[in-house]
Amino acid sequence: MSVREGIMAGVPVRVVRVSFTGELRYEIHVACDRAAHLWQAVMQAGEPFGISAYGTQAMHVLRAEKGFIIVGQDTDGTLTSLDLGMERMLSREGQFIGARSLSRSDTRRTDRKQLVGILPEDPNRVLPEGAALVAGEHRRPRPRAGHTIPMLGHVTSSYWSANLGRSFGLALVQAGRARIGQWL
């Protein structure tokens, strides 16, 4: 998480060590009219070292494989750091912004939605983001008209992973960590 300014291939640049994915990666910020020239120079200079560029889809897969969240996609305004499985990141002394909200009765409920990883039954099927998750007994046959099925959660992120050799996703699921290993 650092920034350096300098010159690359005769072009003024700002190099930023940021990692949406958790990998060792850099962003190079440059004036748009010099981007093509710099791109070619960087790719040529990096060729002997096996340089590779990657796009936003690859970034999304890498971050989701690690359980890194996108605020607003994998979260909503009702979730706490505990719901996201981030309790290890909180101060042991309880001195942090938002500490008091974690002691509220609503935020201590065991049936709250929690972020979990999911593996579709069919490893080749990438589930649609937003798909509803229901209890396994409601799988088939379809419920009769007028019968409601309780939604236990929904898919927040879903991708094909070349690394895993299958599809996977993240989901917000009611009492999610208690359901690990269950079929929904």
Question: pTM of whole model > 0.95?
Answer: no
Q: Which domain holds residue 171?
A: 60-179
Domain identity same for 45 and 18: yes
pLDDT at 92: 82
pLDDT tens digits for 162-180? 999 999 999 999 999 999 9
Q: In the chain, where do the E strands start and end?
A: 3-8, 11-16, 27-29, 113-118, 132-134, 151-161, 166-174
Strands 151-161 and 11-16: unpaired
Inside any domain, residue 93 = yes
Domain identity same for 41 and 95: no
Of the two residues 23 and 17, the one the predictor is more confident about is 17
Q: Which residues of 120-158 are buried (b: 16+ CB within 10 A; e: fewer)?
A: beeeeebbebeeebeeeebeeeeeeeeeeeeebbbbbbb
pLDDT tens digits for 106-165? 988 989 999 999 999 999 999 999 999 998 776 666 667 777 888 999 999 999 999 999
Count how many Cα atoms sit within 13 Å of the Cα of residue 123 in the half-sphere of its side chain: 6
Inside any domain, residue 112 = yes
pLDDT at 103 over 90: no
